Amino acid sequence: MTRPIVGIIGNMNLINDEYPVHAGGVINSEAVAQVSGCMPLLIPADPRLVSVAELMEACDGFLLTGGRPNVHPEEYGETATEAHGAFDRCRDAITLPLIRACVERGQPFLGVCRGFQEVNVAMGGTLYPEIRDLPGRMNHRMPPDGTLGEKFALRHAVRFTEGGVFNGLFGASEVMTNTLHGQGIKTEGRRIVVDGWAPDGTPEALYVEGATGFTLSVQWHPEWNAAADPVSRPLFEAFGAAVHDWAAGAGTASSRRIA
């Protein structure tokens, strides 16, 4: 049986600081294939090469991945500063309209880290350039030292709304997650429902209110150890079920049950 296709948003990168590539983490593809049960397809997120309409016809769902570049602050009406870091304007040009089109059409997507932030910006929200500079906030960035496993280690709790979407999905009011981000939500976009928070109040989980498709998005990286982690696995399984429903033409019954 042919698996439904999940388009994985790639990031611009340089090999040896000189050869440009569109890149995607192996763990993203593994999570989509092994946990969601879908075929991963890496997307070159560049409007010169692909269009939103083409992507929506070619793919059944989308994984909005993390990435070192941040959403450009001009996308939410602010001026870029050194604190905002690096940017990928080509990715901005694809993902932001893609998110709005998926919300309108009911096509499923899962947002991760930068993808979580993209969903908020696409719906009219804004971002803080550096969470750790805010009074009372912790450092959410990736630890500079240690093995990859240590950098993706569980570092803080995320608390969910009692009786909310994520509470129901995980069967818990609080879970432990990794944290590898510098930016975070400042103001929530239209229809954005923040449904999970770090201990310092940083938004960590959201969905789009009233959307008929799967729109769950998280600030952490559930793709790490997705098959074995008790938090990551149900998230990717639920996303996979929504993508399978979409591909089968069964509407978004699965995603409606949890969003």
18 class by beta-carbon count within 10 Å (0-12 exposed, 13-18 middle, 19+ buried): exposed
74 is catalytic: no
Catalytic one among 72, 140, 181, 221?
221
CATH code assigned at 205: 3.40.50.880
Query: What CA–CA distance (Å, rounded) separates 140 from 4?
Result: 34
In percent, the amount of the chain with pLDDT more than 70 equals 96
Q: Is the four-CA dihedral 57, 60, 66, 67 of positive or negative sign? A: negative
Residue range(s) defining the domain that contains residue 169: 5-258
- Residue 153 banded pLDDT, cuts 50, 70, 90: confident
Catalytic one among 75, 118, 204, 223?
223
- Residue 82 banded pLDDT, cuts 50, 70, 90: confident
Which residues have a Cβ under 8 Å from the Cβ of 163 and sit 6 or more positions away? none
Q: Quote the Cα angle for 181-243-238, to 5°.
A: 60
| 208-235 pLDDT tens trace | 999 999 999 999 999 999 999 999 999 9
Domains of the chain: total:
1
Catalytic one among 113, 118, 130, 181?
113
223 is catalytic: yes
| 114-132 pLDDT tens trace | 999 999 999 999 999 989 9
221 is catalytic: yes
The tokens describing 239, both together, are 């996303």
